[in-house]
Structure 1
């Protein structure tokens, strides 16, 4: 009995140690970026990352750049809009695929997953040509539609297990109460799949927030997003490492706040999708 208890204790501590090491490895690059924002470029080149005199010079230079804060606003507009559209369309598509039986249903489901595997660089130029012919380049609409194109397949594939896990008895009970198909979707299925919707919203927003290729090709000075603005700190002759780190830290803040706010729903959503009723 004592040996079993000792073995369990050893396993627990080994697991805990491995988890701490993994977390440290994951967080170390973020620490480097955040700390570099408070360093002079000369200190960044120092071999000891913990030896420096803190300064706000890089942050001052970042906020003095006229297009930086507008680029964050643009990223928020595009990210929130594309996420909302993707959730609306993706949830409807997932509901239809999971609830209706038709020929080619599985093929259609996997086609969304396959479409998500197409590299964005292969679609960037065709999308530019389409939007340019419609005089829609350097506009919110073009970038929102472009981001929606890669978010919708992801949302559909992520939500399918959630809709499939809902028992048919809920739908039958709603029909007995006089609900039509539209009411069943809005009043029964959407509330029951709320954890999945939260997970989909978080990942869709993060993918839109971090997206670079489409933003580079489709936007100009008016609608450039945060990743494009951060790239502007690369400098003409040499990267401005301190300003790059400061700008990178600033654009991390909205994503961190968004994720931490919905953390408990994300954990619940990631586990709920695999439960069958």
Structure 2
């Protein structure tokens, strides 16, 4: 069951990414012309590789998504994902691919993940619902939105009021490639930003809630600063940890997607 859930989840990640332009090529399906593009590329794949089957095509789509960004690669890490422990039959792979290409009465694909806001909350919820292993082993349980907002109101809001957005970090992390400020003792470069952590982050609901609030605060404080600078500052302030490595991979990829979405929405608004 755990392996079957991993295959379904992997396909959902690909579908969400291809429907929202997070990967350039259509692999499984997609609304409008994307379905025809996916089918054409699928046919060309087998013309060039006649000995392969639909299972290989699905694996190729997972590989393409994993290469799209380093934060997404963890979703397909064999050390953390049971996806590769037992491979499905080629018949099962064909049935799974056909499921994603089903059309409705209007001729459009049944499952369309297009979302201009790149809201990925459903990915964490889906992982919880599909993976009995994660629920039993890691006590994975998604926090309702109203509880998340209530807790952040009582914690993050007070922390911003007390410490501001730019407290200096005591230590600069090894290999840090984020923003630094040359205003430390003797002109030393220091890292600044409100440090927030969820020590049991799961698939990242609280992390994204913190990111959204901090980004809003930065926009209020520096309305003239370039959008990506503010997005990156907000992302650099948000940290999480969890015993479930696959949930952490989901959280990391969700945060990256959300940051990208906020950047493009800001650009469009301006």
Q: Please tell me the TM-score bracket, short chain as reference.
A: under 0.3
Larger Rg: 1
Structure with more contact order per residue of length (Cα contacts < 8 Å, sep ≥ 6): 1
More helix by share: 1
TM-score, length basis structure 2? 0.26
